[in-house]
Structures are given as structure tokens and as C-alpha cells.
Amino acid sequence: MAPSMVAAAVDGKGFEDADYNFTHLLKGVKHLSRNGISKVPEKYVLPVWERPMTWGAEPDPLKLIALPVVDFSELQGPNNSEALKSLSDACRDYGFFQLVNHGIPEEVTRGIVEVSKKFFELPFEERSKYMSSDMYSPVRYGTSFNQSKDKVFCWRDFLKLTCHPMEKVLPHWPSSPPDMRELSAYYAKAAKNLFMELTGAILRGLEINQVEEHGALIEEFKAGSQLMVMNCYPRCPQPDLTLGMPPHSDYGFLTLLLQDQVEGLQIQHQDEWVMVRPIPNARVINVGDHLEIFSNGRYKSVLHRVLANSRQHRVSVASIHTLSSNRTMKPSPSLVDDANPPKYKDTNFASFLDYVSSQEPKNKDFLESRKVTR
């Protein structure tokens, strides 16, 4: 690309062409969208067989799925056996469910959504202060899924905040917008508390009743990893050519997702891609790779992806929870016997980093690499 064209692109001109300097692509899709591109750059165009071919002007109502709904207040009640069964069935049959009456105040939810939007509206120069390829960094801003490895970029910008230990990482979080740290910390703490309660219920549903194992795992999760990911999906001029996020499963134990009311999240269910119908103020909960390993395959992490759209800007906030990075996840001893031997190798964050640093992660490839072959 000629220097004059680069300068024009920076000024918001010259974006009509779908091919231009790679440096501008690394500024992210918010930057591209703000400059009014009319075509998706070639770096974002998926091979034909990977494109979301069914995505049209409106979602296909036959492809919308009403996920199982679990009432958190009933899980907490004295007569919770039916709610525990619903929770277990959802983890086993879908790997996803919607959690209602979860107790996170609406003002805390509104706060994290609004401050996320404000952050992505900041000038690129302000956001770019937090760009990093260090996966251990307490704050990382970037674009796509893994911009250092992705052959094709996806239509997404993100801000990732490490949330533990809070007193050490908070000073590293963005100080702009002015209420960013305060509102993000409120939400992170509320999400952690919800995760702890929900995990206790999941362990009961798995019949992990041995006091020693149950208590030890809960204590490990208290000091465990929490990563909060704010996702930005601007309007896309050609959503049929790209994806907001490619098919993947989540690395951790559980993910608590706050999505706005703009449809975009799809899960793979019974070999079909189906759109998740949003429920106001609910949290979408999904089984992560670590829970599949811990349950010895009883619960499955599920492939999911995010569609781009040309009509509305979309944001989401995911809180991803698991053990500390130096701890090992393995099948629960309570779920392993001669008839059900371990189906997965022990794994930790270092194993995951080794894997993703050596190749572009796709689908559930990392989890597949942890399966025991017999």
C-alpha cells in the first residue's frame, strides 16, 4: 500500500478498498467500522466452507433455541432437588443454560455494560496502551481471536482483565473511562460469588459428596483464576463472509456470559448451529473444557461461535473461571473406577499455553489432545 493511501486510511478515507496495510487491521474492527468501510478486508474473509451461510437479514426462527432455564433462587432453597436435576440435565444435554434470579443487582449489570461500551468508544490511541501478547498480563487489549496466530481474523475487539488477586491487578486495569476500575471490580466480585455458589451446586449434582474432595476443590476455586473478557462486535458490512468469533470451546471450568439483547451467540446442538435466544438480565452459563475433564466426560464443553451482523453494534461480557494457572485439573476420583477409567490426561495452564503457542487453536482441538487413547 502506498504511503499516501495509508495516510488517507488513518484520516478515515481510502477504506473502500478491501485490501490495505496490515497495520490498520491490527487496530481492530472498531477502528475499521468507525472509518466507514463498505467491504470486509480480505484478512477477515473466511473460506466458503467456514462461512455462516444461513445468516440472512433476520435470524431464522426455526434455528433459535430456548436453552434450559435454571432458577438460581430455587437452587439455593431448601427443596432444591428438582432444580439440581435441571442443572445436571442442562450440563449433560446442552452444555449451556440460562441462569435467572442470580442475585447480581441490575445496577451492577448496567454499569459493566455501559463502561464496556465507553471503553471501546475511546480513541484507538487510548485503547492501544493495553495491547499485549503476554497471556499472563493483567490487562490485554486486542482484536480477532488470537491475532498473532489467526490465519483469518474475526470481527471482534476485546479487553481481557485478570481479576485475581484483585488488590494486585486492579492498579493495572484501564483508568479510562474514569469509572472503569470501580464498575469492573464490582461486577468481577459479583460474578465470582455467583460462580462459587453455582459450582457448589454442580458438584452436588455430580454427587461429589466426599467432604474432603468437595471442600478442597471449593477452596482451590476461591483462589482460582478469573478472567473477565469484554467483547465488542461493531456492525459489519458483509456479515455473511466472516464471524464475530470462530467455533471454539472455553478453556476454563465455567463461563458466565452477560450478553445484550442483540442476537449473535450460536451453539452447536445436535450437529446444527442454533441461535441462543437472549433473556433479559439472565446469564448464559456454559461448561468449559476443565469441567468436561473433571466430570470425566459426563458433561461436555460445547462448540459455540458469534455471528457478525450489519444492523446493530453488540457487546458482551464473559467471566471465565477455573483453577489457578499453576494447579492441575484431572478427572474427579469420585467419578473414576474400573468401569469408568480416566478419559483425560491431567492438564494445567502451562499445557494450554504450550499448545496455543505452537499452532492456531481451532474447535476443541486442545481438549482432544488431552484425551486418553486406548
Q: Residues 315-345: pLDDT tens digits?
A: 999 999 999 988 999 999 999 999 999 999 9
* Residue reference for cell 433455541: 65
Contact 230, 317 (CB under 8 A): yes
Q: Under CATH, which number does the domain 63-369 receive? A: 2.60.120.330
Q: Rounded distance, CA 143 to CA 161, Å?
A: 15
Work out whether strand 69-71 and strand 139-143 pair parallel, antiparallel, or are unpaired. unpaired
- Going by C-alpha positions, the residue among 176, 82, 170, 79 that lies closest to residue 121 is 176
Q: Amino acid identity, residue 264? A: G
| Burial degree of 172 (CB within 10 A; 0-12, 13-18, 19+) | middle
pLDDT at 3 over 50: no
C-alpha cell recorded at residue 160: 481481557
Cα→Cα distances 219→76, 196, 201, 213, 215, Å: 20, 10, 15, 10, 6
Q: For residue 322, list its beta bridge partners.
A: 225
Taken as a whole, the chain contains a residue count of 374
Q: What is the DSSP letter of 255?
A: E
Q: Amino acid identity, residue 113? A: V
A 10 A CB-CB count for 258 gives 21
pLDDT at 214 over 80: no
In the chain, domain spans: 63-369
Digit-coded pLDDT (tens) for 129-182: 999 878 789 999 999 877 777 889 999 999 999 999 999 999 999 999 999 999
Q: Rounded distance, CA 213 to CA 216, Å?
A: 5
